[in-house]
Each structure stands twice: as structure tokens, then as C-alpha cells.
Structure 1
Amino acid sequence: SDAGLPGSVFVPSGRARLAKWHMVVSSHLNTFYPARRALRVYMHHGPGFGILGNKTAIAMKNDVFLGLSEAERRWFETLRPGIFERERAFFAVGFPKSDALVRGDYDRAATLASLGLQQRPTILITSHWQPAATVRILGDAPLRLLATAFPGNNVIQTGHPWLWEPNRDIPADWQRELTARLRDVESSHPNARFVQTSDVEPLLAAADLLVADHSSVMTTFSLTDRPIVFFDNPQMEFCIAEFHDLFRRASHTFSQPEEIAPACRAALAGPQARAAGRRAMRETFYANPGHAAEAAAHVLASIGSVCSVRSPKWARILAMSHGQGAAALP
């Protein structure tokens, strides 16, 4: 929470530009460039790569890339050989936001109670915001069908915040209509809830089954090793075809509304049927599960006061990136 931070950490942008910084750490591309040299460090805001597009442009705009895994490094180097050879460094730290989920820090009972739900098996439906996503294609059908088919289970619908918040990519009329339909399902089914949140991890911790699309939320849920049902939309083309296969291997699949309830029944009846696929997904997207924040902090502390790739000390950072020397990741 920002409430515990001293006011001195907040600096007006004009003053910040003129101040001396050793590094600027971002989870999105930004336009803040200090007047004096500083390393630009990027870390993921979501735990996915190779799904929606070629992200090499992001890596090219940064000096240090805090990546998800060694698989991500290999993917970058296949797309652009030598990208992390001399002018950029890559560290497979993992995804810090998932640490609490892996550690079991969330209180499932408290989460369900806060939603007015009973302590019983729970199905969570998530959705990306893009046109090929579950809610964009199927609307309220997943929540309605599953709340009806599983009256003894909790069924929760959530999704990317852009599905509900004003933005230029989704028409406001569509948002209002969908929200009204989801609220109607919620009011007519006592086991159904529609939750608008940007913090999905507590819901993932409370879920026994995830219904997901190509959103990286599916990769996060694989950390729980619980069953997944995947909306295998024919309109969705993965950037890396083998990742599409990985999503399928980690889940039971459906592509039409009438297939969703049977897929959920099969997944709940055989929770270990796709365990090998879920393990492959975890290994592909997550280094240091449960300890990613520690790994990221170790990298930043080890970089220290180096503020430019032109520094004589940059060679030490590259050696760390290549796993050489005492300063490499523990």
C-alpha cells in the first residue's frame, strides 16, 4: 500500500527529470527520460509472452529486462539473435506478483465470505479484453450456463479491467449492456457472482477450477496445479504456435457455449488429467515461483550504481546476465 510510504518518495515530474537516478524501473513503456544517464529496467505487468505478439520492441527500448523465465530469453534470442549480447541484459527473475499465490498467503474462506458465498467448490471465469476473448465472444453465456449447470458450486465471473472501465478500444454501450446482463445472471442465481477487480490473485486462490482464454491469468493459475478449462477460440492466433498447444495440453477445452459445462465436468472429475501440461506451463512462464520478488531485488541490488551501458562496469552486468560470476542470481 502507498499509505505506508514516506512522502519524500513522491517527486514531481519536472524535478524528477533533473534529479540523478541510477535506474528507471517500469512495468509498461513510459516517456519519462531523466536528463542524466540512468539504466532503463523493464519488468512484466502480466505473466505472458509469445501469446499476443512480438515483444522485442519493448526489450529494445530498455537496458535491463527482468524476464519471466529462461524460455523467454530463448524466445527473444530466436527472434533477434544477439539481443542480450552486449547492449542489453536479461535476467529470468519470474513474476513477483504471483509470489503470494504460490506461498498460500491468500485466505480462501475470507475471499468467499466477502462475496457472500458459501464455503464450497468454486468455478472462476476470467476473460481478456481483446476481441477474441471469452466475454467479448460469448458475453454472459459462461456465467449463466455454469451457474445453472452447477447449482452446488460457486461460479464467479471476472475479467480484465478494460472490459468494464472506459477506454477507446471497447464501446461504452457494449460495456453497459454486458454489465447489465451479468448482473441479471447474478441476481437470478444465488451461487453466481460478477466481480470487477484488478486484483485477480485472491480469486485464483479461492477457485477449484478456472475457465480461461488466452489471458496470462491462465498461466498464473497453473501455479496452483488445479484444473483449467480453456476457451479455444478458432479466431485467436497465438504469436508462437507451440504456446497454443501448451495452453491446450494444460486444460480441457471448449469452443462453443454448449461445450463449456461438459468440459468443466470432465476437468473436475479428473483434476490430474492435464497435470503434465500444467507443469510444462509453469516451467515455461515462471522462474523462482514464490521468490520472484527476491530474485528481482537481488538483480537490482547487484547492479548497484551502474547507470549506463557505456560504464566500464557494464561488463559485470552482462556477466551476471549470462550467469557468470559471484553476482549471478542465487
Structure 2
Amino acid sequence: MADKRYLFYISQNYSYAILRPLQAAILARGDKVAWFLEGNEVDANFLHPDECQLMTVREVKNYNPAAVFYPSNIAPTFLPGINVAVFHGFDAGKLDKRGNNDHFKIRNCFDLYCTQGPSTTKPFTNLAKQYSHFKVIETGWCALDNLYRTQVTRSEGRPTILLCSTFSKKLSCAPHLFDTVKKLSQSNRWRWLVQFHPKMPSEIVNQYKSIQNDNLSFVETDDVIPLLQQADVMVCDTSSVLIMFLLLAKPVVTFNNIDPQKHLLNISEAELLEQTIEKALSKPTELISEIEDFIRETHPYRDGQSSVRVLNAVDEVLSGKFDLDKKPSDFFRQFKMRKKLNYWAL
């Protein structure tokens, strides 16, 4: 039986960490995988020496993948293989300009959605009944396989606080918490790690870099998982990275979260940050119970085998088991994709 070929189509540096567990599962099967990097926001220097990069759409056509994986919301529909959505994060409740949840918007790009847990499977399954041109299979998120497989050895006895923030000016906690974090980091009580979304404005990044000291480190990385494992408490806003942290059954303090549910400790005043972190570190029984309920709905898979389930789901679709309608044409979106890739052939 011939080796299957798969393609990873990425446009952001964080996609490397999302797809590498899936790459490991593909290679373990004896199959092949290649990477295609689109745009200026993804750095080819993050590729490992043994990873294969395709440089042009023509090379992708010749490679002829059975499936193309996208940790993104949109995808070209003119490449070979089925289009598989594996998501770039969790549903954080963010709304588009019309007030609709952007996480569940159907853009007629994908043949298969590999959902992370019941809270995403149910809405996408309902949408699949409505649109009938894609399949939804719950697999867990491949990006989290290493979250459960590897453990980080703690080198310090004091608690570690991880500050993460989205780049949106409207939603970001970073500008509002700067003075408080600066003050708290001058104490030796806690160790601070700071990591922001890659699109965070440079002035905010430089602001936090300027206060680095023995207690606070600014971390630039394409893989946030080791930071999540090291920290005891996360401070965040509405960034979906907070969901990954919660899945480790650890508390999150949010600042002006847009949907502050019971599994979060939400504040609206920077002055409350210190005492709320202290509460989080105490791990109140009721809070941990709410977090466990959240995990069961969001991502109940803790076996590190989500990548295997993703590949099994792809096999099901490729087998022709499902009778899917043809995807509706989306001329304007696909025209923009062709223009971006400078590819006009059929």
C-alpha cells in the first residue's frame, strides 16, 4: 500500500506547535508530510532541518496530498486533497462585527472539522446538518498531545505566574495591568513569565521587556505548552490560550473577560490582581470543581492521542463513507486566496 501524503498549510508561527504532534503521528504510520508556509507572518526558520517545505502551489499540486490540514479559519479550495480544519485555538466567545461567534462561522472551505470536545462538536454538528458539505468528527485537539505526554520539572519552590494577553486593543489586559505587574514583580514572592500573542503591538511588548528582572521574564516562543506546564496560575483576558491552561486543571485570573463564567476568577480593577492571584493559588474546592466541569465539555481527552484520532477521522472521510455535498463556490474569497498565492491555473 502506497504511503499517504499530507500537507500542513500554515500562516502563523504558533501553527508549528499545533501541528507537530500530528506530524509525529503521521510519521509513526510510515506516511509522509510536508509544510507550506503562506504569507509574511510565518518564519521558515522555525522549521526543523528534517522537515520538508514546499515552496509553490505547483509543488503542492505535484506532491498531491491526500489531505491538507489548516489551523486557521479559511483555506484555498483549489489544492488537491480534502481540507481539514484542526483549529488555531478554542472558542473564547469572541464576536465578529455583526455580533456572531466567529468560531462557528462556516466559510465553505473545509470538508472535515476535527472538533475538540462536546462544546464545539454540538454547534458544528448542527451546522453540518444545515450545510451538508462537511463532516464533523470529535477527536480532541492535536496541539494538546504534548501537553499531556510531557511533564516539566519545577526548579523553584515559589509559585510561577504566567501572564498572557491577546493583541486586540479592546480585549487586551496587558496595558491595564502593566503598573501592577511591574510592582508585583519587584517582590520575590512569585516568579513571573510573560508571553503575548504574536500580533501584540510592539510598544506593549517593549514595555514589558523593559521591566524584566530576576523575578520576571518575557518569553518569545512558537510553543507555549512548556510555559503552561511550568505555571501555577495564569493571568489573562479573553485569549483562547487561557482554555489550554484550564485544561491542566489550574486556575486562571482574568481581567475584563467578555464571558466571565464560574471556572474563571474575573476582575475589572488592576488593584484586585494581587489578592485574586492569592485566591487562585489556594485552589478553592468550588473553583476546581467548576474547572473540571469545564474540561469535560471543552476537551475531555487527556490521553495524548488526539492526533491519532484526527488521522482516523481523515481516513473515514477519504474512504467515501460519508456522502457529502459539493462545497458551494465562494468566488470572492477564493479569488483573494489565488491573488495572495499568485496562482491562477486550474
TM-score (norm 2): 0.69
3-state SS of 1:126 partner: strand
Query: Kindly tell me: are residues 16 and 183 of structure 1, through their superposed partners in 2, closer, same or farther at Cα, counting changes over 3 Å?
Result: closer
- Report what 1:120 is aligned to: 158
What letter matches 1:46 in structure 2?
G
Query: Kindly tell me: are residues 119 and 133 of structure 1, through their superposed partners in 2, closer, same or farther at Cα, counting changes over 3 Å?
Result: farther
Query: Kindly tell me: are residues 180 and 73 of structure 1, through their superposed partners in 2, closer, same or farther at Cα, counting changes over 3 Å?
Result: closer
Q: Is the 8 A contact 1:128 1:160 kept in 2?
A: yes
Pick aligned residue for 1:209 from 213, 233, 237:
233
CA apart distance, 1:125:
0.9
CA apart distance, 1:215:
1.0
- Report what 2:210 is aligned to: 184
CA apart distance, 1:252:
1.8
Trace 1:135-174 onto structure 2 (pairs within 5 A): 135-138=173-176, 140-148=178-186, 151-163=188-200, 170=201
CA apart distance, 1:128:
0.9
Query: Kindly tell me: are residues 297 and 254 of structure 1, through their superposed partners in 2, closer, same or farther at Cα, counting changes over 3 Å?
Result: same
Flag the structure with higher strand content. Answer: 2
3-state SS of 2:168 partner: coil
- Report what 1:255 is aligned to: 268
What letter matches 1:45 in structure 2?
H
CA apart distance, 1:287:
4.1
CA apart distance, 1:61:
2.2
Query: Kindly tell me: are residues 96 and 183 of structure 1, through their superposed partners in 2, closer, same or farther at Cα, counting changes over 3 Å?
Result: same
Query: 1: CA distance between counterparts of 2:222 and 2:177?
Result: 19
Query: Kindly tell me: are residues 142 and 299 of structure 1, through their superposed partners in 2, closer, same or farther at Cα, counting changes over 3 Å?
Result: farther
Please list the CA deviations of residues 172-213 of structure 1 after superposition, one character each: whole Å capped at 9, or x if unmatched: xxx23x3333233214xx211122223211011000111121
1:283 and 2:296 correspond? yes
- Report what 2:277 is aligned to: 264
Query: 2: CA distance between counterparts of 1:227 and 1:199?
Result: 20
Could you list the runs of 5+ residues in structure 2 that have no partner in the other structure? 1-19, 21-46, 96-100, 326-346
Please list the CA deviations of residues 205-247 of structure 1 after superposition, one character each: whole Å capped at 9, or x if unmatched: 00011112111111111122122211125xx4xxxxxxx2xx4
Pick aligned residue for 2:142 from 96, 99, 106:
96
- Report what 2:169 is aligned to: 131
1:82 and 2:129 correspond? yes
Query: 2: CA distance between counterparts of 1:23 and 1:217?
Result: 27
Flag the structure with higher helix content. Answer: 1
CA apart distance, 1:136:
4.7
- Report what 1:224 is aligned to: 248
RMSD between superposed Cα atoms in Å: 2.8
Please list the CA deviations of residues 123-163 of structure 1 after superposition, one character each: whole Å capped at 9, or x if unmatched: 11111111233445415234214314x52220111111111
Query: 1: CA distance between counterparts of 2:140 and 2:273?
Result: 32
CA apart distance, 1:106:
3.6
1:24 and 2:61 correspond? no
Identical columns (%) = 19
What letter matches 2:237 in structure 1?
D
What letter matches 1:195 in structure 2?
V
3-state SS of 2:48 partner: helix
CA apart distance, 1:284:
2.4
Query: 2: CA distance between counterparts of 1:212 and 1:42?
Result: 26
Please list the CA deviations of residues 11-65 of structure 1 after superposition, one character each: whole Å capped at 9, or x if unmatched: 632132356443322122233622x6x3221111112254343334346321111
CA apart distance, 1:275:
1.0
Query: 2: CA distance between counterparts of 1:60 and 1:15?
Result: 24
Query: 1: CA distance between counterparts of 2:293 and 2:107?
Result: 25
- Report what 1:167 is aligned to: none
What letter matches 1:260 in structure 2?
L
Q: Is the 8 A contact 1:219 1:281 kept in 2?
A: no
Query: 1: CA distance between counterparts of 2:151 and 2:62?
Result: 41
- Report what 2:110 is aligned to: 62
- Report what 1:44 is aligned to: 87
3-state SS of 2:143 partner: helix
- Report what 1:33 is aligned to: 78
Q: Is the 8 A contact 1:125 1:143 kept in 2?
A: no
CA apart distance, 1:98:
1.3
TM-score (norm 1): 0.72
3-state SS of 1:249 partner: coil
1:297 and 2:311 correspond? yes
Query: 2: CA distance between counterparts of 1:226 and 1:30?
Result: 34
- Report what 1:198 is aligned to: 222
Q: Is the 8 A contact 1:96 1:293 kept in 2?
A: yes
Query: Kindly tell me: are residues 277 and 141 of structure 1, through their superposed partners in 2, closer, same or farther at Cα, counting changes over 3 Å?
Result: farther
